Chains A and B, each alone.
Chain A
C-alpha cells in the first residue's frame, strides 16, 4: 500500500524531471549551428544573431536597412534557411558574451569594435580577406577607414554596417537667435557666453545623458581631445609612443566639459538619465542643444515637436586656441561589425554567408539606409535625398564632410576606457578634478603597457 502511493507521489515529481531530460526529440534548430558544414548537400542553414529588431523598422535607419537586406536575401535564396535571433542592445551584449565564452557563437553575429581584439585573440571570428578578395567591387565600396576597427594587422575580421560621426551638435537655431547667435558659437568663449545667456532664460545650453557610461567618451571626449591634440597624440597613445593622458591637451579637453558642468549649463541629472531622455529634454525646450551621433538625426526628424524639428541645425565643436586638431573633424568610423564564426570553412555555406553580408550591408542596403536618414559604411553613391528631412540631410552632409578621428572607446583598451568612463562621471558631478581623471587614466594606461 505505502509503497504504491510512494511511487505515485514520487513519479509525479520525477516525471517532470525525466520528461525534461529524455525529450530530446523535440524539434530543435541545433543542426543549424553546425560548424563549417555546408548542410551536407541539402539545405544550407545560417544562424544569425544581431541587435537589429523588427520593431525598430521605420524608426532606426540601420534596423530598417539591415533587416530589409535579410528579407531580400530570403526572397532571392529561398533554399537557404536563415535562423535569426534579434535582441535589444544590452541584451545582445550579455548573450553574446555568454555564447562567446562557451564557444557557441552563431554563424554570423555582431561584434562591437571594442570587442574585436578579444574576439580575434581568442579565435572566435573568421578572417575574411580571401572571401572579400573574391568580391572586389563589393569590398572596395566601403568608405575609407570604416573597415579599420574591424581589421587587425591587415586581416579583416568584420564587415561594417554604419559609419559616421559619434559627435555632432544638434542645436535649436531659434533659441540661439534669441540670444544673438545666428549660428552655433564659433569659439569656446562664445559657447560659454551663450551658455550664460541661455541660463538666464532658464534653458540649459546642452542636455547631457551619461547613465550608460560611454556617452561622454564617444560623443564628447574623443572629439574634444582631438581639437586640442590632433590625431598624432591618439596615434602615439595607441602605439605606446610616449604620449600620456596627463598631457595638457587631454586634461584641457576634460576641463571644458567640467567647466560646462560647473557653470550649470548642463542638466542637473546628467549622470542619471540616458541618451533618450537627454534628447527628450531638447525636444521639450529644456536645452538649446545636445551632442550626439548621426543616429540622433532621425530621432529629431521622427519624434521632435514640429517647432523644434524645423529649428534644428547641425554643427560640430568649435576649435580651440592653439589646438592642433582640425576644427571640422569629428570622431567617427564604424562602431559595430558583422563577423563570421571562426569554425566556418570555405565552401557553399561561407559563400552564402558572404552574400548575406553583402545583402545586409552592401550597396542596396546602403542606399536604403541613406534614404531613410542613416550614414552607411558602404558608400551609397548617388541616392534619393528628396525624402530626407533637412535635419537628416545636414547631419549626412556634416558626416560626409568631417574627417573622422578615432572614437576612443573603439581603440583604447577596455581597461582604460572603463576607468575614463567611470571617472568622467565623478568629474561631471564635481567630486573629481580633470587632473585626477587624467592621473587615473594614465595609471590604467601604464598598467596596460606593462602587460606582456
Chain B
C-alpha cells in the first residue's frame, strides 16, 4: 500500500474532528443529560429529586408503554414488509427488461419521500376521512359501498392503517437503495443464471437475494430504527387514538414530558426507547448472522 493511504495520525484526527465535535455536542450531550434526568423525579424548573431506578421500575410496570412498544414492533414488521420488502420487489421489476418508463417510475415513486411528515399525515387523514376521503370514494366507485368506513376510528387495524402512509412515503427511498445494491450485482452473474434456466421468481430468490443481502440488511436496519422511534405521522394522524390504540413509544414519551410534566420519567422513556431499539437490532443481526452460518453449513 502506498503512502497515499497512510496519512499521519494527527491528520486523520483533524479530518474527523468537525464531525465528531458537532455530533457529540448535539446528539451525545442531550442523551447523557436525559440519562441523568432519568434518575430524578422532575416536574419542571430546577426542582429535581433523586429517586434512583424508580422511573425504570415504573416503566417495567407501565402497561401503556408496553402497549406502545408492541405497536412499534408491529409497525416495524409492517415496515419491513411494506417498505423494504415491497421496495425489493419493485426494484426487481424496475430491473426487468419488461418494464417501461423506468425513469418515470423511479422519479414518481421517490417523490413522497421529499414531503414533510406533517403534509403526509394531513394528506392521509383526508384520504381516510369518512366523508371527504379518497379511499371511501374509491370504494363507492367500484361498488364496494358496504366497505365504506371511518377508517381511523377502527381500533382493530389502526396500526396497519397508520403504517400504510409510512410505507407509501418510504418505498421510493428504499427502492433506490435496492436499485443501487442490485445494480452492483455483476451483470454476468445474472446472465449465467439465466443460461441455467433460472428465470423470474427463481432468479430473484436464488441469485438476487444472496447478492443483495448487504443492501437488504442496511435497509432493514434503517427501517427498524425509523419505525421504532416513529412519531410525527402518528402524532398528526391519530394522536395515538382511538383511546391509545395507535400510540407508539416516542409519542408516549413526548406526552409524558409535555402533557404530564414528568420530565424525569419522560427522559427514562427516551433512554428505554433507544435501549429497546438497540436490542431489537442486535437480535435481528444475530438472527441474520446465524442464518448465514447455517447456510454456510448447507452448501
Contact = CB atoms under 8 A, between A and B. Distances in A.
A98 B45 CA distance: 10
Interface in A5-50: 6, 9-10, 13-14, 16-17
A269 B241 contact: no
B44 interface: yes
Interface string B240-281: 011110000000000001111101000000000000000000
Interface in B117-144: 125, 128-131
Given A10-B18, A93-B258, A213-B241, A269 B45 contact: no
B238 interface: yes
B11 A6 contact: yes
Nearest to A12: B18
A56 interface: no
Given A124-B44, A286-B131, A97 B257 contact: yes
A53 interface: no
Interface stretch (B84-92, B150-158, B199-207): B150-158
B43 A418 contact: no
B44 A118 contact: yes
Nearest to A104: B45
Nearest to B47: A122
Contacts of A268: 130, 149-150, 153
A272 B43 contact: no
Interface stretch (A248-256, A360-368, A423-431): A423-431
23 contacts: A6-B14, A9-B15, A16-B18, A97-B257, A100-B45, A103-B46, A121-B44, A122-B44, A124-B44, A211-B239, A211-B241, A267-B150, A268-B130, A269-B130, A269-B131, A269-B150, A269-B152, A272-B151, A272-B238, A414-B261, A423-B243, A426-B243, A429-B153
**When A and B form their complex, which 10 residue pairs have the shortest distance between CB atoms, in order from nearest?**
A269-B150, A272-B152, A269-B130, A268-B150, A122-B44, A122-B45, A271-B242, A426-B243, A425-B242, A97-B258
B44 A422 contact: no
Interface residues of A, number: 47
Nearest to B150: A269
B98 interface: no
Interface of B: 7, 11, 14-15, 17-19, 21-22, 42-47, 125, 128-131, 149-153, 155, 238-239, 241-244, 257-261, 263
Given A272-B152, A415-B260, A429 B21 contact: no
Given A123-B45, A211-B241, A414-B260, A272 B153 contact: yes
Contacts of A103: 45-46
A94 interface: yes
A199 interface: no
Given A103-B45, A269-B153, A415-B260, A422 B244 contact: yes
Given A286-B131, A418-B259, A431 B45 contact: no
Contacts of A273: 129-130
B222 to A, nearest CB: 25
A17 B18 contact: yes
Nearest to B149: A268
Contacts of B131: 269, 281, 286
B90 to A, nearest CB: 30
Interface in A262-300: 267-273, 277, 281, 286
Interface string A105-143: 000000000010011011110000000000000000000
A236 interface: no
A103 B19 CA distance: 30
A338 B250 CA distance: 31
